[in-house]
A and B are shown apart, each in its own frame.
Chain A
């Protein structure tokens, strides 16, 4: 198979404009004759469904939650980037493009990223027109803040709930189209297979999660916007229902899966507390503006802290190791996510972790310096040039509360510790997946008529995503890319007519789904689905996590293959097929996670280099930094499904060409 990325000719700044001028159109009177399915209603899916509905197509949208407004885009905290240059600090489309390529450690496709930067400003205009209440300054203009890996203020935000506000904006646009009858919404429905007719995507099989009914839905094109696959690790910051099933099913039907090993492990999450833990909670990256990350310099202090004999506040300043400031003086605590995460792991592996959990994995995020600095500033601003120590502390805490109050409260609710008095404990956790279904410049997978958008595709973030870029990509794909490229594809379908669901292809896909469900429900096993999911998660975290090596990855490949066999033999799924059955839903999802997990290990094993979030221990310099190998690994690794035995998957390579950016080593020192 030859991968054709379909990148348009011309200068990088003209590619998208020229491409749009050459794409085929569907006239308004023909659009009602055409059906489109959208799976997932997060930023990418809701934006696409709303926009295509407005254009006049018949859209059917699906989500597994009870409402499209629940999609996990809602949980994004920090913000959304856009090259508006409202702060006059020298931002431009080119700079956003450059920062994103560099942040991704030169493993993203130039043309896609440039397009993303080009439409970023339109996103903000669109959202404001919809009534999204972004933060504003006193003059009534939009406010911005900084995020990691950049030197400008280009992040738009709505307190710590930017994802929520953007998703509710897209949801309102979608709701309008549902009300107008242009989009038909299927809540509590899960896509369980793709139907191909003559090689083209022509429909899906979905399960009504309330009645259990297996439904056939046909369309002229199918858009998958089902999010990322972080839950393959069991513990992640993803929602409990976030899953890879829609993306994996199209993979099994022929769509290549690209760079599965590129996973973002976010440095500031609340550490694991116990074996019954179901998920991990993020503490926004913005906290690294005010907090200093440290562990004790002496191992015996770390041990005493874990044993409860010593408190962090009792450790003297000179006995603290502010390891990010020590290793990366130029960026300090604001190095990119992958760098910060690895540094925390390095200290904990060396025995300096402070959390009293099974693995001692935790470091401090300390606000005491900021309390002193801001407290003093506030006292001076109020005219008190000789404030007492108590006054400074009081004012400093007040400043923190105004800035991060909701996050501090959230932390206290979860941990029962007061972060104003004692440092937060944090540790990296799985957060976002840069890998995903391979798509060309039109966001079309290797299956004609099957498009993939948002976190579910692989295209824009390379080996590491910068903060505040995921929301940008989801909305860019849904609002400003798919309406053009899907129409171009559908221009050949205006005479096709309704796609019948009474075809052998639909029969076959439905049978695949029903067989799988029946197999689970009639299985004579004794272990729960979660039992297997947790075991998979442990293998993934230990061997395909923050630090990877060839030996561990080989073990992971065979352990996961063995786990898959045991899963099908030993899993017990209660209940029946014709009712709301959450255990069955989980079983169907975990089956796909297990297969994907094996592929992730294989992908990490073939990539003999370290880049972005992919750290192979064999490929590091004397100071423990990543060693990229551009001569041999400047490609997208896209895997082709070859049957149930995942080890048979075939790797295809799309060479990455950098025509407009000069490749360099990432340096944050």
Chain B
């Protein structure tokens, strides 16, 4: 590809045996990293090196490696998903770094995302918020009404889609100084609030999801906007505003 070259890097990576153990940054040196490699391929290369030295490799979450499953995370040099915008860590490439760089790699940091091991955290709090109300209560039948029976204005459908594009990675929470999940919850509330299918349960949905969000220990939103900047899918702050309106409406009903 365009830039065929290799670099040598230094890494400081968070190692932690398990949720109860104390963790620390550990130094590693890795040579001959292709700048065409993705960041996770660089970690694969480091892990191969560790295994060949009979050391335990670094645990990190990842799956699709094309920016859509939301499983990869990582705080890289103090930024969620690293020093590039509009991407997940698996889409970050080593050409963003220079020969001789020292790179800090840490897990998501938030009370509601406890560490499981090394760079792996537990994001099941997101699942529980979804279970509290992130759905339309329709049973499987395929015999509701024809899909075209209720027209949806294109603008609403597009906005609902943009909100629904959230991949649930948790970068918004990790990057927020308050550890707030309001961008995540706001996106889900918005998707349904913008569509006629979601209107019937709108009141209960927003109340239930916000209640669960608070129970999980996420912080509150103070309109800093860091979440929007680091969101790999460009989910807009508008969704938080929409959720606040929905919540207010539901609360005074």
Contact = CB atoms under 8 A, between A and B. Distances in A.
Interface of A: 47, 50-51, 54, 65-70, 72, 74-75, 84, 86, 119, 121-131, 133-142, 158-159, 161, 164-165, 168, 171-173, 175-176, 178-179, 185, 187, 210, 237, 239-241, 273-274, 276-279, 281-282, 356, 409-410, 413-417, 425, 479-480, 483, 526, 528, 530, 572, 574-575, 579-580, 582-583
A65 B63 contact: yes
Contacts of A583: 51, 57
Given A131-B192, A574-B56, A580-B59, A74 B68 contact: yes
B252 interface: no
Interface of B: 1-4, 17-18, 34, 36-38, 40-42, 44-45, 48, 51-52, 54-57, 59, 61-71, 84, 86-87, 91, 93, 95, 116-117, 120, 122-124, 126-127, 130-148, 151-154, 157-158, 160-161, 164-165, 167-168, 191-192, 195, 197-198
B146 A66 contact: no
B127 A278 contact: no
Contact of B41 (A51, A68, A168, A276): A276
B142 A125 contact: yes
Contacts of A530: 44, 48
A75 B142 contact: no
30 contacts: A54-B139, A65-B63, A67-B168, A70-B64, A70-B70, A72-B63, A84-B148, A129-B197, A131-B195, A133-B158, A133-B164, A134-B147, A134-B157, A136-B154, A136-B157, A171-B130, A179-B131, A179-B133, A210-B116, A273-B36, A276-B45, A278-B41, A278-B44, A410-B66, A416-B1, A416-B93, A480-B142, A528-B51, A574-B54, A574-B56
Contacts of A572: 51, 54
Given A70-B63, A240-B62, A414-B38, 20 more contacts: A67-B127, A69-B127, A69-B168, A126-B144, A129-B136, A137-B154, A164-B68, A164-B165, A172-B135, A173-B135, A175-B127, A175-B134, A176-B131, A240-B65, A274-B34, A276-B42, A279-B65, A425-B1, A574-B51, A579-B17
A168 B164 contact: yes
B191 A66 contact: no
A239 B138 contact: no
Contact of A65 (B69, B126, B135, B198): B69
A166 to B, nearest CB: 11
A126 B141 contact: yes
Contacts of A528: 48, 51-52
B153 A140 contact: yes
A572 B127 CA distance: 35
Contacts of A54: 139-140
A70 B69 contact: yes
Contacts of A66: 61, 71, 122-124
Given A129-B138, A178-B131, A278-B40, A140 B152 contact: yes
Contacts of A172: 130, 134-136
Contact of A139 (B67, B116, B151): B151
Interface centre among B3, B61, B138 (most CB of A within 10 A): B138
Contacts of B198: 131
A51 B142 CA distance: 11
Nearest to A274: B34
B165 A161 contact: yes
Contact of A84 (B140, B147, B154): B147
Contacts of B41: 276-278
Ranked nearest first, the 7 interchain pairs of A and B with the lowest CB-CB distance are A140-B151, A122-B142, A179-B131, A172-B135, A133-B161, A51-B140, A128-B147
Contacts of A356: 4
A279 B3 CA distance: 19
B64 A75 contact: yes
A142 B142 contact: no
B216 to A, nearest CB: 14
Contacts of A69: 70, 127, 130, 168
A552 to B, nearest CB: 29
B147 A165 contact: no
Contacts of A142: 147-148
A140 B156 CA distance: 9
A50 B140 contact: yes
Contact of B148 (A86, A159, A178): A86
Contacts of A75: 64, 66, 68-69
A129 B145 contact: yes
